[in-house]
Chain A
Amino acid sequence: MEATRANDTGQTVGGSLMERSNFASEIPIFEIPGGVHPEEHKTRSNQADIRTLSLPDELIINIKGQAGNRSIPVVEVGDTVLKGQMIAECDGIFSSYQHAPTSGTIVAIEDRTIAHPSGLSDQCIIIQPDGKDKWCQLTPVRDFDQLSREEMLATIFESGIVGLGGASFPAHIKLKRESGIHTLIINAAECEPYITCDDRLLREHSREVLKGAEVISKLYSDIDIVVGIEDNKPSAIDALVSARKELGFSNIKIAVVPTKYPSGGEKQLIQIITGKEVPHGKLPADLGLVMHNVGTCFAIYETFYLGKPLIQRLVTLTGDACKEPGNYWVPFGTPVSHIINQTHAESPKRIIMGGPMMGYELPSTEVGIVKATNCIIMSAEGELGFDNPTLPCIRCGACMDACPASLLPQQLYWHAQADEFDKAEEYDLFDCIECGACAYVCPSHIPLVQYYRYAKSSIKNNRIEKTKAEKARQRHEARQERLERVKREKAERHRKAAEARKKAAQKAGKKDEKKAAVQAALERVKAKKKAQENKDDNKPATGEEK
């Protein structure tokens, strides 16, 4: 329904022109409503080849390093581990295995600050690298054609692979549904400013990524593959095209989508590529679609072809304070402080994990990289996060025009700040994907997304409280009933006892009557006898004298 908004700031990025691809999309693409064009800042980090960092003194591996449940450590302090060795197993299906990113010693399993905006601590496994970086036994499964679907899924599961787009949702769960899936969409849109790890990965490892995608497609007996990529990555598109040709994969189509944030959101990319919306409360799988990020495809390639579990990822290290911006292979658990040192960042003002639109500021630099970390922005003074005073909402509707979900952010804000959560839910609060486009355009500088997060968490808490209260009420009622019952039973017992006593008493009473009657009879007899005797005494020798 919305026309494309003017590409007002899309062309210029950090003073340089961002090249646009002329490669025509191979499938027709569709519009999404809303969206914004923030400055891209991508040329800074997408120029250099992928590099590696030196190993830090210690790796801080957070057991809550993925969406879902914490992992459970299976190593103990003092253990020596090899690179790729499993160190934590998953807790249930909605969780992930974790592996040692390098060889070394487990020096501690303790609470450390984790990668979370709150600055919370959680259990971490601390590995001291031995510097040898020695792999454990790797067992590639190249002939996965021989494997059953379950075995393939198990391979992915046991390699600890999660979605590497930034949400770190365990990959095997997304791949579980088999029936009705007809298209695999590879998400290479990478619409967040600054982040270029997917771009760089495609430029240098297109073939591996496509091979990984092919593995996924095998899971569904060779379904179609569509790569969705924004037109600001011409080199990556070229690399994809030649890799496809080289590999002879004919079932892969490349959808070049216009650069607009948030085209890379799962629901948004589906809408752009298929013109369809994922119905409320449904999953992409209900439309026959499954979507994976290019990084995830690469990880799946490494698992099947090289036998490597997921122990590192490509991270964009960038920001004005970063002296050597680029994309680096970063082992999980690498402390951010080590990254700052290695890239010679000069006293960064703010350190953002993730992109500027959806990322969060790190509370500490002693935090380990997790599977979801796609970018670390080391910002200089005045680069990110303006200290503009917040003004009242004037209902200008700029947020509404920017919202890709066609929400009314101004009304959501109104209700959220007034704690009218039921109203906020009426305005589909939970359909907000927290992309931040609304807050980006807000002329009053209202931190809108923060209000929605607040409202969402309040509603969730209220629900939990409500369930708790309901349970407590049920418990209370059950107790009340039990007490009543006990009381009733007691009363009943008493009543019965009393009755029994009464009966007994009555019985006893009857016996007494008899007794009394007997007694009375005996008395009478006695009295008669006595009377007789007295008669005899008063009539002296009458009978005997005769």
Chain B
Amino acid sequence: MSVLSSPFAKKPNTVTQLMLWVVLATLPGVFALVFFFGVGVIVNLFIACSTALITESIILKLRQRPVAPILWDGSAFVTAWLLALALPPLLPWWMTVLGTSFAIVFAKHVYGGLGNNIFNPAMVGYVLLLISFPLEMTTWLPPQELAAHPVGVVETVGIIFSGQGSNTATIDMLKQGVDGYTMATPLDHIKTQLAQGYRLPEAETAPIIKGLSGVGWQWVNLGFLVGGLVLMFKKVIGWQIPIGVLLGMGLISLPLFFANSDEYLFPMFHGFAGATMLGAFFIATDPVTASTTPKGRWIFGLGIGAITVLIRTFGGYPDAIAFAVLLMNMAVPMIDYYTKPRTYGHARNAKESS
């Protein structure tokens, strides 16, 4: 098609800029992650992003597409970036590579590349790893301030690439925190404790549970919240989805909490635990795989929030953003179909029945 068609004026924004904004907005959260969980986060980012760019280049070559312009749109980079932020900091390097390349090849290019995939690629990569390597994927270090043995850069790199740090520290040694206490994230810890018959107030006495949700995690979530709000005000992302996710979580967790506060977490805890803010503002808002209508975005966000709390509370996994996002991705075509906005001049409540 010719480009010599109106409008001749253009708002100077590009997909690349949008992607850049997304990466920039994660930085507060990234700093918090690095501060509390070590430089493994940065190593993961590096591994994932280089894997994504290399994989994307190879696939584009194979698909006989122009490599440079498409690589430049930044979407592969963002996928890898977000996936890496969801990975445990000391994940063996090849798992990161596997997850990222799977996300690029199977979740994105098999469907036709940018704009055509129905599932969030980062979350597809994440879930592949979570299901295949449940142990490694739930192995988080205790936050640095609680760690008996703070992890240095060399050790981190060593563990990620060879499974062993320089001082022959193994991951099992590093995992030891206060009281010989373990690798679990706050959500994981509480899930395990409840399963063992403890009541919530007892489970919450653990040293990693502090403040809004837990040592480190509350700051990580606050970081992503701040970045997410920036994106929202910059209109890089719509506001319906993130607000919907948080609201959806609240709508399920609040009644549960009031029904039985011995067993069900306070909504605020859900909001600042695990991958909540990263999920709400950065993952669920992937425009390609999210609902695209104003009403649909609400439904999509609310669904993710609700499913997340339900799986966290009643399911087998401590965190569930990834599953919730993928499940709602599946529902998107139907949501979009039934949430077409009323066009100018059309009857106010005429439901298109065709």
Contact = CB atoms under 8 A, between A and B. Distances in A.
Report if A and B associate in a common complex: yes
Interface of A: 6, 9, 33, 36, 38-39, 117, 193, 267, 271, 277-282, 350, 352, 354, 356-361, 377, 379, 384-398, 400-401, 404-408, 410-411, 426-428, 431, 436-437, 439-441, 443-445, 447, 449-451, 453-454
Given A39-B9, A388-B14, A400 B292 contact: yes
6 contacts: A267-B345, A280-B344, A389-B69, A394-B114, A397-B297, A440-B10
A440 B115 CA distance: 19
B344 A360 contact: no
Contacts of B290: 395
Given A391-B15, A391-B73, A350 B345 contact: no
B56 interface: no
B173 to A, nearest CB: 45
B351 interface: no
B66 to A, nearest CB: 9
B138 interface: no
Interface in B319-354: 336, 340-347, 352, 354
Q: Is the interface of A mostly helix, strand, loop or mixed?
A: loop
Contacts of A352: 6, 8
Nearest to B288: A394
A431 B5 contact: no
A443 B344 contact: no
A357 B292 CA distance: 25
A440 B293 CA distance: 19
A396 B342 contact: no
A440 B9 contact: yes
Contact of B9 (A193, A390, A397): A193
A396 B7 contact: no
Contacts of A386: 10
A38 B11 contact: yes
Interface of B: 1-11, 13-15, 17-18, 69, 73, 75, 113-116, 235, 238, 287-288, 290, 292-294, 297, 336, 340-347, 352, 354
B343 A282 contact: no
Given A356-B9, A393-B115, A394-B114, A428 B287 contact: no
Nearest to B116: A392
A357 B6 contact: yes
Contacts of A410: 292
Contacts of B69: 389
A318 to B, nearest CB: 13
Contacts of B345: 267, 277-282, 405, 431
Contacts of A449: 5-7
Contacts of B116: 392
B344 A356 contact: no
Contacts of A389: 69
A445 B287 contact: no
Contacts of B341: 400, 406-408
A386 B4 CA distance: 9
Nearest to A384: B8
A404 B115 contact: no
A395 B288 contact: yes
Contact of B115 (A33, A278, A280, A395): A395
Contacts of B288: 394-395
Contacts of A384: 8-9
A445 B14 contact: yes
Contact of B343 (A391, A405, A447): A405
A431 B346 contact: yes
B287 A431 contact: no
B336 A444 contact: no
Contact of A426 (B11, B113, B342, B352): B352
A63 to B, nearest CB: 25
A405 B341 CA distance: 10
Among B2, B290, B340, B352, the one with the most A-chain Cβ atoms within 10 Å of its Cβ is B340
Among A36, A394, A431, the one with the most B-chain Cβ atoms within 10 Å of its Cβ is A394
Nearest to B336: A411
Contact of A395 (B3, B8, B287, B294): B287
Contacts of A33: 344
B4 A385 contact: yes
A389 B14 CA distance: 10
